[in-house]
């Protein structure tokens, strides 16, 4: 169960200015040392968010050795091995399209936009497994407001970094690259949509989408795109990789919905990683506050 809503809290109410300034100094020191995105680097000045669940958090080992990242292998254990030397610094994210101030940001610049929060979210995979992870970041809306979306912007398209030489396993993945996905603008602006830089108090490891990724907790995990290189605001619905690859199995929205089964398995229950028992799947993965985004929509049709 979520406790509190982002709209009820102001950053000034939860983060002392001194903590925020120390975090800026910490980021500057990391940039100077060239180690900004080294796996295992501790993140300083992280605020405990009011977004959390009551469930026990999965172990760091669970979350970092059981991954979907097809650029580094299709078996769950392979990304942790094959992404080990993936270079994530320097890194820029281009934001373009229907916005008044398109530009490129370094990840360090993005991380300075707002205090970092630790949010303990459910993370639900389409294959009927789930985990509880303490992700670190802030609402994507903070970044999107910097470029001032125009009235034409109705959708947000995301694209991962892709280099076949660095990601040779992608040749055998069976899906097109670079990986792409998208959200409606109102989904992207919802405070729950988390622009993510870390987990478990540290910078993201490569297999978990370093240096910057999305976590959209009410949707299946493949919507939470990793290693973002480009964001584009646009008027039309963007293509998404799994719909391109298998259109009869995957749609654009991909909201967690126990009433709609995947063609090859039930979505009515899930198994928490590390557990044997199954538990009922919750609508919107338990994040009922997003239900208003889909008022009047047939969620069996718009999957």
Say what the pLDDT of residue 40 is.
78
Rounded to whole angstroms, the Cα distance separating 202 from 199 reads 5
CATH number, domain 6-294, options 3.90.420.10, 3.40.50.300, 3.30.360.10, 3.40.50.1000:
3.90.420.10
Q: Tokens 């039309």 identify what position?
A: 236
Rounded to whole angstroms, the Cα distance separating 165 from 72 reads 11
Q: What are phi and psi of 20, to 5 degrees?
A: -60, -40
The full set of domain ranges for the chain reads 6-294
Beta bridge partners of residue 133, listed in sequence order = 121
pLDDT, tens digit, 9 for 90 and up, residues 94-139: 999 999 999 999 999 999 999 999 999 999 999 999 999 999 999 9
Say what the pLDDT of residue 22 is.
54
* 81 to 19, 31, 85, 275: CA distances (angstroms): 35, 26, 9, 24
Q: What are phi and psi of 19, to 5 degrees?
A: -65, -45
* 167 to 37, 206, 281: CA distances (angstroms): 19, 12, 34
What is the mean pLDDT for each group of 10 consecutive residues in the chain (303 residues)? 39 46 52 55 94 95 97 97 96 98 98 97 95 98 98 98 95 96 98 98 98 98 98 98 96 97 94 95 98 97 95
CA angle, residues 36, 82, 130, in degrees to nearest 5: 85
pLDDT, tens digit, 9 for 90 and up, residues 25-47: 555 555 444 445 576 799 999 99
Task: Report how many helices (DSSP H) and strands (DSSP E) the chain contains, helices first.
Answer: 8, 13
User: The whole model's pTM is what?
Assistant: 0.88
Say what the pLDDT of residue 20 is.
46
Please tell me whether the peptide bond between 97 and the residue prior to it is cis, using omega within 30 degrees of 0: no
Please tell me whether the peptide bond between 38 and the residue prior to it is cis, using omega within 30 degrees of 0: no
């Amino acid at each position: 169960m979520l406790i509190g809503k982002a709209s009820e809290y102001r950053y000034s109410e939860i983060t002392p200015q001194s903590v925020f300034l120390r975090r800026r100094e910490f980021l500057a020191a990391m940039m100077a040392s060239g180690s900004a995105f080294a796996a295992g680097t501790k993140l300083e000045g992280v605020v405990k968010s009011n977004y959390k669940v009551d469930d026990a958090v999965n172990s760091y080992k669970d979350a970092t050795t059981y991954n979907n990242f097809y650029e580094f292998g299709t078996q769950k254990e392979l990304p942790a091995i094959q992404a080990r030397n993936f270079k994530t610094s320097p890194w820029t994210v281009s934001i373009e399209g229907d916005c008044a101030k398109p530009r490129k940001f370094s990840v360090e610049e993005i991380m300075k936009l707002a205090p970092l929060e630790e949010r303990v979210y459910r993370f639900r995979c389409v294959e009927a497994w789930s985990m509880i992870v303490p992700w670190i970041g802030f609402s994507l809306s903070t970044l999107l407001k910097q470029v001032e979306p125009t009235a034409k912007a109705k959708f947000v398209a995301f694209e991962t970094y892709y280099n076949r030489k660095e990601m040779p396993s992608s040749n055998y993945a069976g899906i097109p690259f670079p990986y792409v996905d998208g959200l409606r603008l109102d989904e992207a602006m919802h405070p729950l949509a988390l622009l993510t830089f870390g987990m478990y108090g540290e910078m993201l490891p490569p297999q978990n989408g370093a240096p910057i990724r999305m976590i959209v907790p009410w949707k299946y995990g493949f919507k939470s795109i990793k290693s973002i290189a480009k964001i584009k605001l646009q008027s039309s619905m963007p293509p998404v990789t799994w719909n391109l690859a298998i259109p009869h199995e995957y749609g654009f929205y991909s909201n967690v919905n126990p009433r709609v089964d995947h063609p090859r398995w039930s979505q009515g229950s899930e198994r928490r990683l590390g557990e044997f028992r199954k538990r009922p799947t919750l609508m919107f993965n338990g994040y009922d506050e997003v239900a208003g985004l889909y008022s009047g929509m047939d969620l069996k049709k718009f999957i």
